[in-house]
Amino acid sequence: VQRSLVLVKPDGVRRGLSGEILRRIEAKGYTLVAVELREATQEILAAHYAEHEGKPFYAPLVEFMLSGPVLAVVIEGQRCIEGFRSLAGATDPTTAAPGTVRGDLGRDWGLAVQQNLVHGSDSEESAAREIGIWFPELTR
């Protein structure tokens, strides 16, 4: 059974969408293994977004992720990595399909970073890595 690391980003928490996003995850049939509202740190984000270091949106992305609390979530279920990415929709909320979190609830706010409400792991390798970053107690 797969696990995936999901984040409700600061825009989602600020807009009061945490419950709606958890509702969609549970309605899909995935299990919530861990749910924690917390402030990210530079250290956690440097590890989490290591692959984006050096890209033009990296600094604004980290600043955005530090702008308020995030809801860190571990979900579980068969093929939940692919399944959550399908629920989340495309990166750009303007064109993300209706029916998805980003397509239904997101839009372009004219900012340097796509504020797109959620993150979901994109592979088993990144899920294991990201769960280790956000919830080390789950991997011991």
* Ramachandran sector of residue 94 (left: φ over 0; alpha: ψ -120 to 50; beta: rest): alpha
Does 82 bind ligand ATP (CB under 6 A)? Our answer is no
Q: Which residue is nearest to ligand ATP (CB)?
A: 91
Let me know if 119 is a catalytic residue. yes
Of the listed pieces 11-19, 37-45, 69-77, 113-121, which binds ligand ATP according to CB under 6 A?
113-121
Task: Check the annotation: does 91 bind a ligand.
Answer: yes
How open is the CA angle 53-109-44, to the nearest 5 degrees?
A: 30
Q: How many residues contact ligand ATP, by CB under 6 A?
A: 9
Q: Considering Cα of 83, then 84, then 86, then 87, what sign does the dihedral take?
A: positive
Of the listed pieces 12-20, 29-37, 67-75, 116-124, which binds ligand ATP according to CB under 6 A?
116-124
Does 57 bind ligand ATP (CB under 6 A)? Our answer is yes
Cβ neighbours around 14 below 10 Å, total: 14
Does 48 bind ligand ATP (CB under 6 A)? Our answer is no
Q: 60: which residues sit within 8 A by CB, 6+ positions away?
A: 111, 112, 113
Pick from 112, 113, 89: nearest CA to 102: 89
C-alpha to C-alpha distance for 135 and 118, rounded to whole angstroms: 17
Does 113 bind ligand ATP (CB under 6 A)? Our answer is yes
Residues at the interface with ligand ATP (CB under 6 A): 57, 61, 85, 91, 113-114, 116, 119, 122
Q: Which active-site residues does the annotation give?
A: 119
Question: What are the binding residues for ATP?
Answer: 9, 57, 85, 91, 102, 116
